[in-house]
DNA sequence: ACAAACTTTCATTTTTTTTTGAAAGTTTAA
DNA sequence: TTAAACTTTCAAAAAAAAATGAAAGTTTGT
């Protein structure tokens, strides 16, 4: 396999993985492309390499910057903008965790708390509902807190976790 | 808020959360419904409660059973089939992790290994590609192994992890 | 202030994913 | 063996998500 082929395969795979985890394919592909590029890439080049429209490129780059995992760069004497990806994988994991927690888990927790707080009558069905949603709330809250803590370590959290777990 | 409303809100929220994580909405909704039901539910009732077609119910129940988080139950003297969800949250997390690892992470790892193994020429671009994909491979492999190890604990792995992390 | 060079927005189109429902399949009981 | 009661399958339809591209917006240099 040669370079170009390998690069393309990587971009496609990363895109597919993104889709499976609820991240739009193009967004994941742009991220993949930037991660393996050793120097900043212009929007024009991204459009060319991924064969996508200007609008698509623009919107997905914006989204990636909102996630904090892609940065704009300005080159001296160049009018157009270039982009780079966060390449430190610990940092990348931390940022993705934070965003998903903020956008998806926290709101879900709020609902779980609400619905588990109905005062249950005496029916079996209601008792079970309150019991199960309360357990779910506790579980998700705990998991979310672990994520928080883990990502506080920031540097090399995964390696440190490995040591703790594998021992 | 009363029971019926709370139950509906929970089902909708779980469905939305599923979508955001790449799980089809109906599948997540059926799972939510079964999780908070204190007794087995028939396909007829699922269709009725979620307002979905027979085919949809059938296919998503099959998928949930393939994931190992929903079970068929037979009631004595009843022709039709009933369904229950895995209600132990540790067990649920373990099963979901295992499936996602098997279906999505392992195949991605295989590709990462392939593409990071091209013998790089001397260009900066190729060196960076090999370096970055190698790092990514190592990172994902390690994370996947941690998941494996964690879920081997099985009982109360989250609580045990909390102790390790928070200390 | 102007215009060139570039980026963003968003209504419309395209693609992808999900859902439907009717036909085919299965199981059970008589 | 037949038929009733139920489930599964899958081609077609519908819905949802993503992509396009042209117009509007912005920035920079003169």
Closest Cα in chain B, distance from residue A12 (Å): 10
Q: Which chain B residues are Cβ-neighbours of A1 within 8 angstroms?
A: 114-115, 118
What nucleotide is nearest A80 when CA is compared to C1'?
Answer: C6
Q: Are residues A79 and A102 in the same domain?
A: no
Q: Are residues B27 and B63 in the same domain?
A: yes
Q: Which chain A residues are Cβ-neighbours of B120 within 8 angstroms?
A: 3
Q: Residue B153: its pLDDT value, please?
A: 79
Backbone φ, ψ for residue B41 (5° rounding): -120, 140
> Nearest CA to B48 among B1, B11, B6, B85?
B11
- What is the 8-class DSSP label of residue A73? E
Q: Is the CB of A54 under 7 A from strand D?
A: yes
Q: Residue B167: its pLDDT value, please?
A: 67
Residue B73: beta bridge partners?
Answer: B82
Which range marks the domain in which residue B114 is found?
89-166
Mutate which: B132, B141, B154, vs A, most A CBs within 10 A: B132
Count the Cβ atoms, other than its own, within 10 Å of residue A159: 12
Q: Are residues B72 and B103 in the same domain?
A: no
DSSP A85-117: E---HHHHHHHHHHHHIIIIIHHHHHHHHHHHT
Task: Say whether pLDDT at B166 is over 80.
Answer: no
Q: Are residues A76 and A97 in the same domain?
A: no
Low-confidence residues in chain A, pLDDT < 50? none
C-alpha span between A139 and A136 (Å, rounded): 5
Q: Calculate ∠ Cα A110-A116-A121, nearest 5°.
A: 155
Helix/strand/coil (H/E/C) assignment for every residue in chain B: CCHHHHHHHHHHHHHHHHHHCCCCHHHHHHHHHHHCCCCCEEHHHHHHHHCCCHHHHHHHHHHHHHCCCEEEEECCCCCCEEEEECCCHHHHHHHHHHHHHHHHHHHHHHHHHHHHCCCCCCCHHHHHHHHHHHHHHHHHHHHHHHHHHHHHHCCCHHHHHHHHHHC
Q: Which residues of B97-118 are buried (b: 16+ CB within 10 A; e: fewer)?
A: beebbeebbeebbebbebbbeb
Here the CATH number for the domain that contains residue B44 is 1.10.10.10
Which of A33, A56, A85 marks a domain boundary? Answer: A85
Measure A158 CA to D25 C1' (Å): 44
Q: Are residues B57 and B122 in the same domain?
A: no
- What is the 8-class DSSP label of residue A41? E
Interface check B10 vs A, CB under 8 A: yes
Measure B108 CA to D20 C1' (Å): 30
Q: Are residues A73 and A29 in the same domain?
A: yes
**Region of poorest pLDDT, from A147-161, B100-114, B127-141:** A147-161
Higher confidence at residue B79 or residue B118?
B118
Q: Are residues B95 and B76 in the same domain?
A: no
> Nearest CA to A140 among B35, B103, B84?
B35
Residue A85: beta bridge partners?
Answer: A70
End-to-end Cα, chain A, rounded Å: 39
What total of structural domains would you count in chain A?
2
Which of A55, A85, A115 marks a domain boundary? Answer: A85
Q: Are residues B112 and B147 in the same domain?
A: yes
Q: Are residues B81 and B139 in the same domain?
A: no
Q: Are residues B8 and B68 in the same domain?
A: yes
C-alpha span between A18 and A12 (Å, rounded): 10
- Express each pLDDT in B14-36 by its tens digit: 999 999 999 999 999 999 999 99
Pair B133, A10: CB distance under 8 Å: yes
Q: Residue B123: its pLDDT value, please?
A: 93
Which of A85, A103, A118 marks a domain boundary? Answer: A85
- B41 token code pair: 């539910």
Task: Say whether pLDDT at B10 is over 70.
Answer: yes
Q: Residue A167: its pLDDT value, please?
A: 66
For B28, residues 6+ apart whose C-beta sits below 8 A from its C-beta are B14, B15, B17, B18, B19
* Cα–Cα separations (whole angstroms), residue B58 to A72, A104, B96: 48, 28, 20
Q: Are residues B73 and B16 in the same domain?
A: yes
- Does A9 contact B111 at a Cβ distance shorter than 8 Å? yes
Q: Residue B165: its pLDDT value, please?
A: 81
Q: Is the CB of A21 under 7 A from strand C?
A: no
- Does A38 contact B104 at a Cβ distance shorter than 8 Å? no
* Cα–Cα separations (whole angstroms), residue A29 to A32, A54, A102, A109: 5, 15, 23, 31
Q: Are residues A67 and A99 in the same domain?
A: no
pLDDT bin (cut points 50, 70, 90) of residue B126 is very high
- Determine the distance from the C-alpha atom of residue B133 to the mean position of all C-alpha atoms in its chain, rounded to a whole number: 26
- Does B165 contact A142 at a Cβ distance shorter than 8 Å? no
* Nearest protein residue to the C1' atom of C17, measured from CA: B24
């Amino acid at each position: 396999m040669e370079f170009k082929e390998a690069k393309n395969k990587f971009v496609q795979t990363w895109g597919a993985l993104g889709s499976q985890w609820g991240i739009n394919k193009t967004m994941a592909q742009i991220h993949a492309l930037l991660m393996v590029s050793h120097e900043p890439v212009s929007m024009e080049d991204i459009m060319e390499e991924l064969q996508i429209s200007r609008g698509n490129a623009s919107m997905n780059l914006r989204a990636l910057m909102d996630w904090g995992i892609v940065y704009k760069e300005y080159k001296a004497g160049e009018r157009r903008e270039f982009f780079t990806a966060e390449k430190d994988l610990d940092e990348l994991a931390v940022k993705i965790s934070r965003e998903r927690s903020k956008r998806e888990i926290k709101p879900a927790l709020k609902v779980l708390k609400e619905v588990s707080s109905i005062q249950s009558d005496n029916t079996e069905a209601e008792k079970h509902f309150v019991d199960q949603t309360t357990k779910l709330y506790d579980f998700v809250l705990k998991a979310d807190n672990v994520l928080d803590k883990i990502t506080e370590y920031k540097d090399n959290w995964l390696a440190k976790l490995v040591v703790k777990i594998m021992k």
